[in-house]
Amino acid sequence: VLNWFYSYGHFLAQHPFCFLIIPILICGGLAVGLTNLQPKDGVEYLYAPSISRSIDERDIVRQTFTDKSDTNFSPFSLNELVPESEIIFRSKKEKSILTGEVLQELKVSVIGIFFFKHHVSLFILFYNILFFNSLSPRGFNITGPRGSQKKRKIGASC
């Protein structure tokens, strides 16, 4: 074994160019394949088998509710990420949620929600804009500063 390592080291010392350039070329050639990489992020593709019943059911929901603003549509039935949030209030120390102390904390929390601000590039959107305009089934447009013709379509769900 010692003689084999000696002869291998001697061979490497005589031909260093091949052992430096060939691995670099192989790594570079394999890296070119990364340019064709198309990452998948769909729930169905990542987590469900291709013959899963959930894929069929999700397609039925999409076909049934083509208008996502319908009152009978629940975005959680699609099991997708939706621009929506829910707030759940629970009482501390297993008390009733209708005690004066808890109601005072709820009042402070609700006032905080009404002062909610969301930053979208140059715009600051307040709760009343997001909430009341989201009630429209068409979504709403946000127009830029005066003189700007740039409009952004934003759908909000509160």
Domain boundaries, given as residue ranges, for the chain: 2-36
| Residue closest to 75 by CA, chosen among 17, 142, 158 | 158
Quick: pLDDT tens for 13-63: 898 888 889 899 999 999 998 888 888 777 667 777 878 787 788 788 778
pLDDT value at residue 6: 92
Mean pLDDT for 98-117 is 77
24, 30, 38, 125 from 35: Cα distances, Å: 18, 10, 8, 38
Please state, in angstroms and rounded to a whole number, the distance separating the CA atoms of residues 135 and 107: 24
pLDDT value at residue 27: 93
- Residue in this structure with the two tokens 């949620």, named with its chain if needed: 97
Quick: pLDDT tens for 62-97: 788 776 666 666 666 666 655 566 677 777 777 777
